Chains A and B, each alone.
Chain A
Amino acid sequence: MTGIVQLQNVTKTIKGKTIIDSLSFEVKKGEVFGFLGPNGAGKTTTIRMMVGLIGMTSGDIKIGGHSIQSNFEQAVRQVGAIVENPEMYKFLTGYENLIHFARLSNQVNKEKIDEVVKLVNLSDRIHDKVKNYSLGMRQRLGVAQALLHEPEVLILDEPTNGLDPAGIREMRDHLKKLTREKGLAVIVSSHLLSEMEMMCDRIAILQKGKLVDVQTIQDFKTGVDQEIEFDVVPIEKALAIFQTMSILARRGETGITCSIKKVEIPSVVKRLTSENVEIFGIKEVTKSLEERFLEITEEREVSLHV
């Protein structure tokens, strides 16, 4: 099955500067797709192109097979989005905002509005003016307006920005529910990996406008050598032994940390005991996604500069 969203060699140049450089990837129905990259990587720019707010210099974006460039109305009909902050009409109530956006898409009736209001848990405040809403409520109203016309694709640009942990968790459960129950494709951008980890099925890593990698979260987590920490005495002697075995090791918090594969552990232990080094503990240090992310982007940085 081809993806509901397809980016094909999308390039955006502004004033001679290439901001997005031949970006290609697909997003399938029923998955939460993370769009990850440090600030200024070009996430928002890519999202703006996906919803037709800005044009592209070359390439094409298709949504449900319709090009956003040549068949804007058909393509955008299938998309609900928040681009950057969910800015609403502050002088209107939440409900009036929803009516406003409902009128811009055909076939949205009152029942549908009530349904999405309930879905995002805004029922008791929906008739308040938006200027009195908290950031979390605005985010939820933003999601509500994006879901009004029952889109196939939901695009959220940094939806957890400014939310507290409870809000983030709520958002996450929401998105999972939407993909499971309605088969939506959800694209979420973020510069924080820890959020993506819990939320996404697959992630694309963007850096300086270039796609670094697209992976499932599982592959992403396990794609490297394990960090193993040896709690040993004496440390100096052990370090020397690691050196002779040509294993890169360094002093860790409580002992020595090194990057080796799991299968190599027994041979290292044998060698250490035979040299009379006392082993008090061996533990696996799971790398956080954050570190993994930095690792990938740094590798990339190096290879870019060579």
Chain B
Amino acid sequence: MFNLLQNEWMKIFKRPGTFVMMGILLVTIVLMGGIIKYENQDVKANPDWQQEIQTIVAEQKQSLAQMENAAQGQRKYLEKSIAINEYRLDHNLAPNGEYAIWSFVQDASSLIQLAGLFTIIVAAGIVASEFNWGTIKLLLIRPTSRAKILLAKYTTVISFSLLMLTLLFVFSSLVGWIAFGMPDKATPYLNYFDGKVTEESMIFHLIKFYGLNSISMIMLSTMAFMISAVFRNSSLAIGLSIFLMFTGAQFTNLIAMKFEWAKYILFANTDLMQYFEGMPLVEGMTLSFSVLMLVAYFVLFHSLAFFVFKKRDVAA
């Protein structure tokens, strides 16, 4: 098995495309750091922030009272904002206190999407390319079962996604540290869930954020991998997966407004953050429900991929 993994890594890292992807990720982080640094130059911490927040809270309370009939989502958003702001006042925590390393890592974590995109590209190509290149014929006539080869390829996809995430985390920490430095005193992250505000250490929050966000990335990559193995077509796998990555959540939200069965859609369950911060998409969804759904989709994708890949005639 180790040999097979070595092979897959060799095939990924001997292609210039891989370095282009890593380069794009790193350059984007640096650019982001540069822009934030530039924009932050003349933003000084407001000494009167308490007053400012009090006004905001008052306004928000007022609009909350006026919009009894408004959508649940809007109300919840306001409630969350009010709760956090009140917590800040009570505990004397300035909102944009000091922009330092962790604030930047937090901002740069939106690039997880980019890391996800690259992982999908790798996942979509890892089986289909062998068919395109015609090398599948030489790959499958070895004393190694097809299942083992497919497993090695999937393991490689997962480790590639971990590599991209690690790269993002480490490099954005580095850029954040160089550009903004360490904070004088650790500012906690304020977490709102179920009507209560709690303090979390920033690093803990970031790791949780990365972990939970990578679930969606892993599910989409698994889907791309499945499409790649079943249809042997990397463009289809990339196209469909990326399309769903950008639109899946919105579609699911739309459906969820009307139909309860939306909770069975993959994208209703990929964002586990909803159980730790904010609120579930459909009333009555629980963390264990979502985990169960994710496992079900995961098993489905792999059953399809392995079944078809094992059975199919290879006439490339």
Given contacts A74-B143, A92-B10, A106-B143, 19 further A-B contacts (CB under 8 A): A48-B313, A48-B315, A52-B140, A54-B313, A54-B314, A55-B313, A73-B144, A73-B145, A76-B143, A83-B138, A85-B134, A87-B135, A88-B138, A89-B133, A91-B15, A100-B7, A103-B3, A104-B139, A105-B143
| In the bound complex, CA of A79 to CA of B142 (Å) | 8
Using CB atoms and an 8 Å cutoff, list the residues of chain B in contact with chain A: 3-4, 6-7, 10-11, 14-15, 133-135, 137-145, 313-315
| In the bound complex, CA of A24 to CA of B140 (Å) | 24
Does A90 sit at the interface, judged by CB under 8 A? Answer: yes
7 contacts between A and B (CB under 8 A): A54-B315, A55-B313, A81-B141, A87-B134, A100-B10, A103-B7, A104-B3
Q: Which residues of B contact A54 (CB under 8 A)?
A: 313-315
| In the bound complex, CA of A53 to CA of B145 (Å) | 12
| In the bound complex, CA of A152 to CA of B19 (Å) | 41
- A89-B11, A96-B14, A103-B4 known; A72-B145 Cβ under 8 A: yes
| In the bound complex, CA of A271 to CA of B314 (Å) | 64
Q: Which residues of B contact A92 (CB under 8 A)?
A: 10-11, 14
| In the bound complex, CA of A92 to CA of B129 (Å) | 14
| In the bound complex, CA of A21 to CA of B52 (Å) | 86
| In the bound complex, CA of A72 to CA of B310 (Å) | 12
How far, in Å, is A137 (CB) from chain B's closest CB? 16
Q: Which residues of B contact A105 (CB under 8 A)?
A: 142-143
| In the bound complex, CA of A145 to CA of B141 (Å) | 11
Q: Which residues of B contact A88 (CB under 8 A)?
A: 135, 138
- A96-B10, A104-B144 known; A48-B3 Cβ under 8 A: no
Q: Which residues of B contact A55 (CB under 8 A)?
A: 313
| In the bound complex, CA of A221 to CA of B142 (Å) | 38
| In the bound complex, CA of A150 to CA of B283 (Å) | 64
| In the bound complex, CA of A267 to CA of B143 (Å) | 64
| In the bound complex, CA of A87 to CA of B315 (Å) | 14
Q: Which residues of B contact A101 (CB under 8 A)?
A: 138, 142
Does A51 sit at the interface, judged by CB under 8 A? Answer: yes
Q: Which residues of A contact B15 (CB under 8 A)?
A: 91
Pick the contact of A104: B10, B142, B313 (CB < 8 A): B142
| In the bound complex, CA of A267 to CA of B127 (Å) | 72
Q: Which residues of B contact A100 (CB under 8 A)?
A: 7, 10-11
The interface size of chain A toward B, counting residues with CB under 8 Å, comes to 32
| Residues 108-153 (chain A) with a chain B CB within 8 angstroms | 145
Does A26 sit at the interface, judged by CB under 8 A? Answer: no
B4 near A104 with CB under 8 A, answer: yes
Does A77 sit at the interface, judged by CB under 8 A? Answer: yes
How far, in Å, is A219 (CB) from chain B's closest CB? 33
Q: Which residues of B contact A76 (CB under 8 A)?
A: 141-143
Q: Closest chain A residue to B6 by CB distance? A: A103
B140 near A53 with CB under 8 A, answer: yes
B141 near A52 with CB under 8 A, answer: yes
Does A84 sit at the interface, judged by CB under 8 A? Answer: yes
A-B pairs with the 8 shortest C-beta distances?
A87-B134, A54-B313, A104-B142, A103-B3, A77-B143, A53-B314, A51-B141, A73-B143
Q: Which residues of A contact B315 (CB under 8 A)?
A: 48, 53-54
Q: Which residues of A contact B138 (CB under 8 A)?
A: 82-83, 87-88, 101, 145
| In the bound complex, CA of A90 to CA of B145 (Å) | 24
How far, in Å, is B310 (CB) from chain A's closest CB? 11
| In the bound complex, CA of A55 to CA of B140 (Å) | 13
| In the bound complex, CA of A88 to CA of B314 (Å) | 16
| In the bound complex, CA of A80 to CA of B112 (Å) | 44
| In the bound complex, CA of A85 to CA of B137 (Å) | 10
Q: Which residues of A contact B313 (CB under 8 A)?
A: 48, 53-55
Q: Which residues of B contact A90 (CB under 8 A)?
A: 133
- A54-B315, A103-B3, A103-B4 known; A91-B14 Cβ under 8 A: yes
A87 near B137 with CB under 8 A, answer: yes
How far, in Å, is B135 (CB) from chain A's closest CB? 5
How far, in Å, is A55 (CB) from chain B's closest CB? 6
Q: Which residues of B contact A84 (CB under 8 A)?
A: 134, 137
| In the bound complex, CA of A72 to CA of B143 (Å) | 7
| In the bound complex, CA of A74 to CA of B315 (Å) | 22
Q: Closest chain A residue to B17 by CB distance? A: A91
How far, in Å, is A101 (CB) from chain B's closest CB? 6
Instruction: Count chain A CB atoms within 10 A of each CB in B138, B144, B314 and give the residue with the most.
Output: B138
How far, in Å, is A166 (CB) from chain B's closest CB? 26
B135 near A53 with CB under 8 A, answer: no
| In the bound complex, CA of A99 to CA of B314 (Å) | 23
How far, in Å, is A242 (CB) from chain B's closest CB? 53
| In the bound complex, CA of A101 to CA of B3 (Å) | 10
| In the bound complex, CA of A74 to CA of B142 (Å) | 10
| In the bound complex, CA of A101 to CA of B142 (Å) | 8
Q: Which residues of A contact B144 (CB under 8 A)?
A: 73, 104
How far, in Å, is B144 (CB) from chain A's closest CB? 5
Q: Which residues of A contact B145 (CB under 8 A)?
A: 72-73
Q: Closest chain A residue to B129 by CB distance? A: A89
| In the bound complex, CA of A55 to CA of B3 (Å) | 27
How far, in Å, is B53 (CB) from chain A's closest CB? 57
A87 near B142 with CB under 8 A, answer: no
Q: Closest chain A residue to B15 by CB distance? A: A91
Q: Which residues of A contact B135 (CB under 8 A)?
A: 87-89
